[in-house]
Amino acid sequence: MIRVLIEEAVVAGARRAPACQVVGLSVRTVERWRAGPEDTTEDARHGPRHAPANRLSGAERRVLLATVNAVAFRELTPHQIVPRLADLGCYLASESTIYRVLRAEQLLAHRGRAKAPVRCGTRADVATGPNHVWSWDISVPQQAA
């Protein structure tokens, strides 16, 4: 549908690059769509054809989850867990792999005893009269000639 709309815009006189930019696509993506088959009802993208050779097995994944959820590590982030395991002479997975596994298992939450940080908006001071808000001038003073 997007390809048809872009083609209609080009026929009406628009340039292809700005039309693609409006819908958030690159011109190269639209060119690739145009060169492909006309039947675009199916997604023609293909993912990887094989699993990575270093993918964790089911047993390795269970050991990893049991380790990071153990009492000694359950309040630590993967950034802290990996070096502590390395000090013990144990390597289960990289930090990014641990994050990926925790995210897939929906265990990637705040892991410490302290509350999660709360983001507050910026405070705006509003003056409703003279001398209500005082500030300072940090501009560089001009030199007299």
- Distance separating alpha carbons of residues 9 and 50, to the nearest angstrom: 40
Nearest one of 113, 107, 53 to 78, comparing CA atoms:
107
Query: What is the per-residue pLDDT across 29-66, written as a single tens digit (0 to 9) for each?
Result: 888 877 766 655 666 667 778 888 889 999 999 999 99
The answer, yes or no, to whether residue 87 has pLDDT greater than 60, is yes
pLDDT of amino acid 40: 55
Query: What is the per-residue pLDDT across 96-112, written as a single tens digit (0 to 9) for each?
Result: 999 999 999 998 877 66
Q: Which sign, positive or negative, has the C-alpha torsion 93, 94, 98, 104? A: negative
Query: What is the per-residue pLDDT across 60-83, written as a single tens digit (0 to 9) for each?
Result: 999 999 999 999 998 898 999 999
Asked if residues 112 and 75 have their Cβ atoms less than 8 Å apart, the reply is: yes
3-class secondary structure, 18: helix
Burial of 7 (0-12, 13-18, 19+ CB in 10 A): middle
